[in-house]
């Protein structure tokens, strides 16, 4: 929880003060009360605090902790580094048992305030649903943050967007047998209940069979769980305004199918629905912020399980578009369900542009690592606007190429198209994108490959702890608000 108030009051269990090197050099601390200034001066004179980035030094003021937090040179400090530093301070042992924390930033600019909000709400997020509480641990897991800043609409918007990010993370982090397609439908229905200008379409297995979504059905046929295509139409713009379609890959678990994933790769595959979860988080933000745009939010839900009925390498399957697809690998399943969803939405909803979001290829992790989402787009203007949104939100993108000759990489000798690229292992991210492009029917389209950015399988990356990051929610929300 976060609240805004100005000026600083130093009336909570702990006050956290961000200090840069110029302030130390000039001994300029206007926000610090006179009673504390002498203590701070003694600390500086003794050389105990130089405001190096990430340096922490606690002072005790009666029953209150005053934590000095160094941020280095102001001219060298990025908002990314600021988020990381503030996260470290909030999670430090000095504040372990503190419930209410006041934060005073070193520079009251809007981008600094918003970075502090994200550090507090995104940076300190932890998935602890299944941890048994320790009765002897008096640590307060959830803190109330009081940010010493005058309330502004954009600050409240930043806090609301963080809630959408963390909803996405909750969906991804939970058990695969909990967060099923039915669970997704229930979550979406709960979000839109009572909202005006909303319509909901849900295609289950029976409807998919009737409509001919053969690719989606094939991927799910080894599972006992129901496949679903869940489509929310949000009418926030003018009656005659065009629509942007967001389509998220929602593999609630991905074994790889008969092309089984090996140990070391399969353990975190509950996160293969991160694209659909990002769509849900973005929908939450659109509703909370009353975004004045017309938007299609689509979650493409299936489970790629192993069974006697599982689809097989070498199969040829006809999708909703009418194209036939040769299955080169059953672990290239996400592009199959997305292809059917894009074909269905383009034909029946006629959006002006389509953006798909998917943990699609391990090749994207090889190419870009874990800090940048891969962007492939058929439309330069759309790509540019998404990249600008990424710059503003620190939800990073890097554009990869797509070009006419790439279509040869997904040709099949026995079908219209093949779901794996040729030659094997070459340009896996862009050949997967080329497969998807063939189902866009000329609609301006962008593809976000979040395979590397959606999940932290370890202790920490940037200002995210272990588990889901909510990749793409911030940038998509900003894009929708500003374009």
Active site residues: 261, 335
3-state class (DSSP) for residue 200 = strand
**Pairing assessment for the beta strands 64-70 and 14-19 based on DSSP bridges:** parallel
CA atoms within 13 A of residue 391's CA, in its CB half-sphere = 7
Which residue stretches of 369-483 are H helix?
380-393, 428-437, 473-482
Cβ atoms 214, 320 nearer than 8 A: yes
The C-alpha atoms of residue 483 and residue 478 are separated, in whole angstroms, by: 8
Handedness of CA 392, 398, 403, 407 (dihedral sign): negative
For the chain, helix (H) and strand (E) counts, in that order, are 14, 19
- 130, exposed or middle or buried, with CB in 10 Å at 0-12, 13-18, 19+? exposed
DSSP 128-169: -TTSPP-TT----SS-EEEEES---HHHHHHHHHHHHHHHHH
How far from 431 is each of 40, 91, 421, 423, 435, CA to CA, in Å?
59, 42, 5, 10, 6
DSSP assignment string, 327-388: -S-TT--HHHHHHHHHHHHHHHH--SEEEEEE---HHHHHHHTTS-EEEEES-HHHHHHHHH
CA distances from 233 to 70, 226, 296, 350 (A): 47, 22, 5, 12
Measure the CA–CA gap between 257 and 260, rounded to whole angstroms. 5
Query: In what helix (H) or strand (E) does residue 228 lie, and over which residues does it extend?
Result: strand 228-235
């Amino acid at each position: 929880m976060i609240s805004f108030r100005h000026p600083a009051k130093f009336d909570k269990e702990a006050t956290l003060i961000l200090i840069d090197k110029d302030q130390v050099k000039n001994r300029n601390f206007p926000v610090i009360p006179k009673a504390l200034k002498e203590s701070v001066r003694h600390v500086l004179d003794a050389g105990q605090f130089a405001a190096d980035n990430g340096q922490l030094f606690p002072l005790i003021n009666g029953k209150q902790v005053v934590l000095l937090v160094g941020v280095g040179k102001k001219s060298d400090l990025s908002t990314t580094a600021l988020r990381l530093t503030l996260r470290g301070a909030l999670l430090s042992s000095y504040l372990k048992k503190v419930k209410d924390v006041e934060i005073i930033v070193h520079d009251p600019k809007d981008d600094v305030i918003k970075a502090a909000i994200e550090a507090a709400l995104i940076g300190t997020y932890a998935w602890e649903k299944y941890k048994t509480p320790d009765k002897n641990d008096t640590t307060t897991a959830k803190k109330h943050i009081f940010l010493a800043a005058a309330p502004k609409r954009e600050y409240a918007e930043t806090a609301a967007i963080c809630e959408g990010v963390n909803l996405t993370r909750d969906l991804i982090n939970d058990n695969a047998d909990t967060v099923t397609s039915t669970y997704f439908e229930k979550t979406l229905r709960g979000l839109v209940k009572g909202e005006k200008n909303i319509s909901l379409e849900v295609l289950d297995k029976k409807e998919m069979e009737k409509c001919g979504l053969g690719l989606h059905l094939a991927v799910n046929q080894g599972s006992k769980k129901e496949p679903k295509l869940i489509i929310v139409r949000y009418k926030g713009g003018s009656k005659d305004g065009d629509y942007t379609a967001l389509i998220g890959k929602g593999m609630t678990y991905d074994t790889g199918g008969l092309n089984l994933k090996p140990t070391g790769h399969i353990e975190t595959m509950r996160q293969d629905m991160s694209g659909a979860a990002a769509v849900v988080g973005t929908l939450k933000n659109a509703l909370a912020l009353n975004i004045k745009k017309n938007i299609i939010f689509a979650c493409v839900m299936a489970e790629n399980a192993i069974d006697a009925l599982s689809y097989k390498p070498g199969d040829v399957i006809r999708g909703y578009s009418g194209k036939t697809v040769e299955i080169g690998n059953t672990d290239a399943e996400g592009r199959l369900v997305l292809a059917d969803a894009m074909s269905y939405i383009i034909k029946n909803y006629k959006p002006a542009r389509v953006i798909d979001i998917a943990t699609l290829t391990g090749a994207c992790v090889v190419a870009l690592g874990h800090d940048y989402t891969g962007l492939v787009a058929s439309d330069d203007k759309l790509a540019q606007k998404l990249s600008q949104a990424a710059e503003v939100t620190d939800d990073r993108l890097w554009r990869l190429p797509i070009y006419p000759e790439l279509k040869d990489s997904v040709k099949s000798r026995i079908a219209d198209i093949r779901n794996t690229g040729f030659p094997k292992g070459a340009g896996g991210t862009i050949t997967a994108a080329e497969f998807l492009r063939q189902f866009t029917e000329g609609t301006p389209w962008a593809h976000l490959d979040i395979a590397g950015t959606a999940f932290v399988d370890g202790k920490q990356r940037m200002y995210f702890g272990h588990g889901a990051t909510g990749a793409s929610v911030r940038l998509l929300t900003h894009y929708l608000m500003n374009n």
